């Protein structure tokens, strides 16, 4: 589904990713772990197509298609979803209104019929209940005054709503208490499917107790320095990143 | 949603072009000779079949105007206007009185269709009475009967001058005096038509009143005059929408609007102004130099201005309230969008004269491209205005790095009991907001429209429902191409 080869990315002229290789098959959940500043968010932004993240070398193929020339909104319509580390506030735009605009923009782009307000409302309500996203939250301006946990739950709600093919979760666990973490993990696990690939980015091993990955990659200084099964998370927890990075060198 | 609202939405959605009102209707026009003199004023007055007192009023204004200077204090720049190089009267030829819409030139009706206000449909669906002003002459007035039943007068001002001279004499020029300012005085001399509304005591006007103004003939200034009087305990909501065709030359539009609210009366006046703004290089567009003022003459009266200003090359406009009656209330809700080379200098004046008067100002200015957008507002509390209150919220949003936003609040208080609050913010559409929208599949232009509409929400909420939908679309259309 996703095949990244020798990816070099520069931000503001500074190289952040330095030859990254990664393959994720449909149906799999991969975790990316790494210390702060190793380039995890950079990778997620590049996959989503954010402006200012320049690919200087390498390739990204998504379902056999070159992802690089596609603008972000087309990637979204083709099923690339990024749950952001820092979800953004948009004053005056109700959450419900935003969800409807996004859902219909994606549908239009895929040549599907738009959903009317009532259809969207019904669909959203069904999925919102499971994530403990209240009706009241949906009426508030997008992310404005939301707690950290509320913001992250809303990201997962959007993932459930858009039903992406490739979901990237950038530190969705950070800042969550244990109950919120469980809720989010349940949401994610509920979306595991043979047609869907997930890339779960995290700094801590904790999340992987709840979302058990098929494979773990350790990112340090812009490269994958170690890979393994789910047991790698425990090793990381025990030894710390520094040791793993050293071992790999 | 009512079918009328759906109609508005579809009509707007169906028109893809950036400035979708930029067409010219090919109808033979009858014009006054070019230029401005006493003869021009007499010509206009004669064309209208006006009584002598009206002609004298106009001539007085004209003589006064000759001694006045064009104001230069606004933060707008334009080459000197040659007032002798324009026509001051233009009307479609052969317009004897129409008894029904069927008699109206089909080309005109087609024009209104393109504007998104099909009269037939509006009559059938919307319950909106439209007094359509095509250049200088009113060609179709609808819903007269229903309004008649309620005793509401809603007619072209030229008709009111003939049919209700006492009412017109009593109120015309009492809010915006003939001598008020250069453009208002010019208007007083040469105004060619406009709307008159009178709502009698205790009557709640049974429908939204609406006038669509449209400049069509080239090189013709439009000087319409609107007078709305709400008698004691009455209520009226009035909406004007404005569009003009694309032309390379600049055209002058100098309207005067006067509102009078007597004891316990309320007037809600909404404007969606979408005159041609000029092209991306600043060529052409309307000079919109307008004087709008409301007089809360009676106790506990209320006047509320809501404006969505997306068009015109230059906007110079300060809808104001004179809070004369005790406990009267004035409100000003404004969205002003300036893109490309547009210049907007707009705001309000709240003049507190009576006791316990209150005013509220919510201004949302959006600048994009190379545009300059100025909020200019005056809150003035006179000595006798015990316990006057004002709240002002003035927010600016910048799109891109080449535009400007300016806030010029003037505050004068001669009564220590006054409480005046002023809040102002300036922000940018953040890159991360845009990226967030894009990532969720919302394209660039839609994302900008969404964010800007969110920014303007408090003001959009003030518009009548049917028009709020259109205004939201307009906000998006007028900012197309402003990012990326
Ligand atoms: N906009 C930017 N401009 C310059 N450097 C950046 C920018 N964003 C991130 N970086 C740098 O790139 C590196 C990787 O950042 P990031 O991808 O956010 O790491 P992580 O998500 O793993 O903490 C850091 O050294 C950070 O300082
Ligand atoms: Mg990060």
Q: Is B456 on the interface with A (CB under 8 A)?
A: yes
Taking all residues of chain B, what is their mean pLDDT, rounded to a whole number? 81
Number of domains in chain A: 1
Nearest 5°: the CA angle B219, B253, B5 is 110
Give phi and psi for B209, each to the nearest 5. Answer: -100, 140
Q: How far apart are CA B411 and CA B391, in angstroms?
A: 12
Mean pLDDT of B66-91: 79
Q: Is B474 helix (H, G, I), strand (E, B) or coil?
A: helix
Q: Measuring from each residue's beta carbon to the nearest atom of ligand 1, which residues come in under 6 Å?
A: A 11-12, 14, 16, 34, 36-42
What is the per-residue pLDDT for B139? 41
Q: Supply the ipTM of this predicted assembly.
A: 0.96
pLDDT in tens, B299-308: 999 999 999 9
What is the per-residue pLDDT for A174? 84
Tokens of A206: 């904790």
B-chain CB neighbours of A97 within 8 Å are 450
A-chain CB neighbours of B335 within 8 Å are none
pLDDT band for position B31 (cuts 50, 70, 90): confident
pLDDT higher than 80, residue B22: no
Q: Of the ranges A66-75, A101-110, B431-440, B467-476, which one carries the lowest mean pLDDT score?
A: B467-476
Mean pLDDT of A142-158: 93
What is the per-residue pLDDT for A158? 97
Q: Is B109 on the interface with A (CB under 8 A)?
A: no
B-chain CB neighbours of A141 within 8 Å are 454
Q: In what order do the strands lie in the sheet containing B137-141?
A: B137-141, B129-134, B209-214, B235-243, B266-274, B302-309, B329-338, B358-368, B389-399, B419-428
What is the per-residue pLDDT for A187? 86
What is the per-residue pLDDT for A161? 96
**Which residue from A9, A10, A11, A224 has its CB within 8 A of the most atoms of ligand 1, so it is best to mutate?**
A11
What distances in angstroms separate CA B119 from CA A12, B48, B97, B106, B109, one per listed residue? 56, 25, 17, 11, 7
What is the per-residue pLDDT for B85? 80
**Which residue from A34, A42, A223 has its CB within 8 A of the most atoms of ligand 1, so it is best to mutate?**
A42
Q: What residue segments make up the domains of chain B, in order of their start?
A: 3-478
Positive or negative torsion for Cα A20, A21, A27, A28: negative
CATH number of the domain to which A43 belongs: 3.40.50.300
Beta strands in A34-143 (DSSP E): 53-62, 65-66, 80-83, 90-94, 141-142
Distance A173 CA to ligand 2 centre (A): 12
The minimum-distance atom of ligand 1 relative to the CA of A42 is: 17
Q: How far is A176 from chain B (nearest CA, A)?
A: 21
A-chain CB neighbours of B446 within 8 Å are 101, 105
Q: How far is A90 from chain B (nearest CA, A)?
A: 7
Higher pLDDT pick, B118 / A209? A209
Q: How far apart are CA B25 and CA B136, in angstroms?
A: 14
CB-based contact A91 B455, cutoff 8 Å:
yes
Q: How far apart are CA B242 and CA B469, in angstroms?
A: 16
The minimum-distance atom of ligand 1 relative to the CA of A52 is: 1
What is the per-residue pLDDT for B111? 58
Tokens of B404: 């400007």
pLDDT in tens, B395-454: 999 887 788 888 888 999 999 999 999 999 888 888 899 999 999 999 998 999 899 999
CB atoms within 10 A of CB A208: 23
Which structural domain range is residue A213 located in?
A: 2-248
Q: How far is A101 from chain B (nearest CA, A)?
A: 7
Distance A41 CA to ligand 1 centre (A): 7
Least CB–CB distance from B432: residue in A88, A92, A101? A88
Mean pLDDT of B141-160: 81
Exposed, middle or buried by CB within 10 Å (0-12, 13-18, 19+), for B174? middle
């Amino acid at each position: 589904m996703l095949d990244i080869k020798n990816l070099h990315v520069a931000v503001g002229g500074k190289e952040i990713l330095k030859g990254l290789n990664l393959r994720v098959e449909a149906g799999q959940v991969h975790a990316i772990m790494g210390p702060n500043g190793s380039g995890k968010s950079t990778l997620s932004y590049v996959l989503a197509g954010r402006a200012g993240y320049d690919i200087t070398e390498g390739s990204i193929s998504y379902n056999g298609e070159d992802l690089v020339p596609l603008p972000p909104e087309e990637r979204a319509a083709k099923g690339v979803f990024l749950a952001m580390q820092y979800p953004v506030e948009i004053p005056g735009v109700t959450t419900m209104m935003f969800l409807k605009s996004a859902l219909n923009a994606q549908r239009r782009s895929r040549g599907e019929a738009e959903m009317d307000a009532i259809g969207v409302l019904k669909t959203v309500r069904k999925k919102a209940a499971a994530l403990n996203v209240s009706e009241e939250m949906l009426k508030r301006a997008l992310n404005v005054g939301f707690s950290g946990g509320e913001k992250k739950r809303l990201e997962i709600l959007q993932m459930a709503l858009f039903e992406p093919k490739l979901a990237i979760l950038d530190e969705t666990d950070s800042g969550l208490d244990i109950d919120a973490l469980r809720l989010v993990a349940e949401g994610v696990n509920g979306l595991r499917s043979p047609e869907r690939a997930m890339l779960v980015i995290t700094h801590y091993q904790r999340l992987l107790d709840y979302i058990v990955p098929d494979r773990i990659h350790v990112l340090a200084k812009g490269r994958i320095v170690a890979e393994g099964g789910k047991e790698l998370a425990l090793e990381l927890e025990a030894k710390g990143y520094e040791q793993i990075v050293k071992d790999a060198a | 949603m009512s079918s009328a609202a759906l109609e508005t939405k579809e009509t707007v959605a169906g028109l893809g072009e950036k400035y979708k009102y930029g067409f010219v209707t090919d109808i033979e026009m009858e014009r006054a000779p070019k230029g401005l003199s006493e003869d021009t004023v007499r010509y206009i007055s004669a064309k209208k079949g006006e009584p002598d007192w009206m002609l004298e009023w106009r001539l007085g204004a004209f003589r006064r105007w000759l001694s006045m200077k064009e104001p230069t204090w606004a933060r707008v720049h334009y080459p000197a206007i040659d007032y002798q190089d324009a026509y001051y009267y233009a009307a479609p030829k052969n317009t004897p009185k129409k008894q029904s819409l069927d008699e109206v030139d089909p080309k005109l009706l087609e024009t209104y269709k393109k504007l998104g206000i099909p009269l037939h449909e509006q009559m059938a669906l919307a319950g909106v009475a439209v007094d359509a002003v095509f250049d200088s002459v009113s060609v179709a007035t609808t819903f007269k009967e229903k309004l008649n039943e309620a005793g509401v007068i809603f007619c072209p001002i030229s008709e009111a001058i003939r049919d209700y001279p006492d009412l017109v004499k009593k109120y015309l020029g009492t809010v915006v005096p003939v001598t008020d300012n250069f453009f208002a005085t010019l208007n007083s001399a040469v105004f060619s038509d406009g709307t008159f509304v009178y709502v009698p005591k205790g009557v709640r006007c049974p429908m939204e009143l609406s006038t669509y103004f449209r400049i069509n003939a080239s090189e013709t200034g439009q000087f319409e005059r609107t007078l709305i009087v709400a008698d004691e305990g009455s209520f009226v909501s009035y909406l004007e929408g404005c569009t003009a065709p694309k032309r390379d030359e600049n055209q002058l539009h100098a309207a005067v609007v006067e509102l009078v609210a007597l004891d316990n009366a309320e007037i809600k006046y909404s404007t969606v102004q979408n005159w041609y703004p000029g092209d991306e290089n600043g060529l052409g567009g309307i000079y919109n130099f307008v004087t709008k003022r409301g007089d809360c003459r009676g106790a506990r009266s209320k006047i509320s201005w809501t404006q969505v200003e997306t068009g015109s090359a230059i906007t110079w406009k300060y809808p104001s309230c004179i809070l004369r009656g005790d406990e009267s209330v004035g409100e000003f809700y404004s969205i002003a969008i300036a893109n490309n080379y547009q210049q907007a200098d707009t705001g309000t004046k709240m003049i507190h004269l009576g006791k316990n008067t209150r005013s509220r100002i919510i201004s949302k200015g959006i600048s994009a491209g190379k545009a300059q957008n100025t909020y200019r507002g005056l809150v003035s509390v006179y000595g006798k205005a015990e316990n006057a209150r004002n709240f002002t919220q003035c927010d600016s949003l910048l799109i891109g790095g080449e535009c400007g936003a300016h806030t010029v609040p003037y505050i004068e208080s001669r009564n220590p009991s006054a409480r005046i609050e002023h809040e102002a913010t300036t922000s940018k559409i953040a890159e991360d907001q845009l990226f967030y929208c894009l990532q969720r599949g919302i394209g660039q232009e839609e994302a900008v429209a969404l964010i800007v509409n969110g920014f303007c929400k408090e003001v959009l909420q003030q518009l009548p429902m049917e028009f709020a939908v259109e205004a939201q679309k307009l906000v998006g259309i007028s900012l197309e191409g402003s990012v990326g």
